[in-house]
Amino acid sequence: MKSEAKKEKAAGLRLHNLRLRPGARHRVKRLGCGESSGHGKTSGKGHKGQKARSGGSLRLGFEGGQMPLIRRLPKRGFNNAAFHKRYAIVNLSELADFKSGSIVNEESLRAANLVRGNFYGIKILGDGELKHGLTIQAEKVSTAAREKIEKAGGTIAAPEAKAPRNGAATEASAEKPKRAARSPASRKVKPKKTKVSKK
């Protein structure tokens, strides 16, 4: 009997009568529909006030008008975060896909999705092994990475200087001739008006 019931149940499963498991779908929470929504008259927002209004919210750190904690705490010392130079880290193990003799610089590393985002320069670290020679152009190279690169027959070179973004503007300003400075004698001096006293 059990085997027949299983066969009937298996035979009844078709694409047109598949159903989700009980509890997989939930009823949509009806907001702003009063007591009939099943979430109370105020839909869980309490009674009145700024937080109960539609679109009403408080910014992060707001303390009801009193001096916020971030402004109450003393701030001393120098913070170097604004002048910090961030380097993109690349290990030697990630350079194995480059062909022998190829140039590894920022453009090739970005094309290979090894570095992304904004950074000041590239730093090569010595994690992994390098089996063929590469020409690496990077701002910084660790001691271990330098030894492994030279041992594999590669070379390390300084990266090429990047052209400024507003290069066209600089070239135009360079071609524009500068005005010759006029001597004080050539300048027109307006005569001073003398006041005549009336008696």
DSSP 105-162: -HHHHHHTTS--S--SEEEEE--S---S--EEE-SEE-HHHHHHHHHTT-EEEPPPPP
How many angstroms separate the first and last alpha carbons of the chain? 137
Phi-psi region of 113 (alpha: psi -120 to 50; beta: other; left: phi over 0): left
Q: Which helix (H) or strand (E) holds 103?
A: strand 103-104
Single-letter amino acid, residue 170 = T
From the list 160, 96, 156, the residue with the least C-alpha distance to 130 is: 96
87, β-bridge pairs: 121
Q: CA angle, corner 70, sides to 65 and 71, nearest 5?
A: 65
Positive or negative torsion for Cα 170, 174, 176, 177: positive
pLDDT tens digits for the chain (199 residues)?
566 656 656 667 888 888 899 999 988 887 778 888 888 888 888 888 988 888 888 999 999 999 999 999 999 998 888 899 999 999 999 998 899 999 999 999 999 999 999 999 999 999 999 999 999 999 999 999 999 999 999 999 988 877 655 545 545 555 555 666 566 555 665 666 666 666 5
Q: Please state whether the predicted TM-score (pTM) of the whole model is above 0.75.
A: no
Collapsing DSSP to helix, strand or coil, 72 comes out as helix
145 contact partners, CB below 8 Å, separation of at least 6: 92, 124, 125, 126
Strands 103-104 and 87-91, by their bridges, are: unpaired
Asked whether the beta carbons of 158 and 124 are under 8 A apart, the reply is: no
Decide if 123 contacts 141 (C-beta within 8 A).
yes
- Supply the DSSP symbol for 14: -
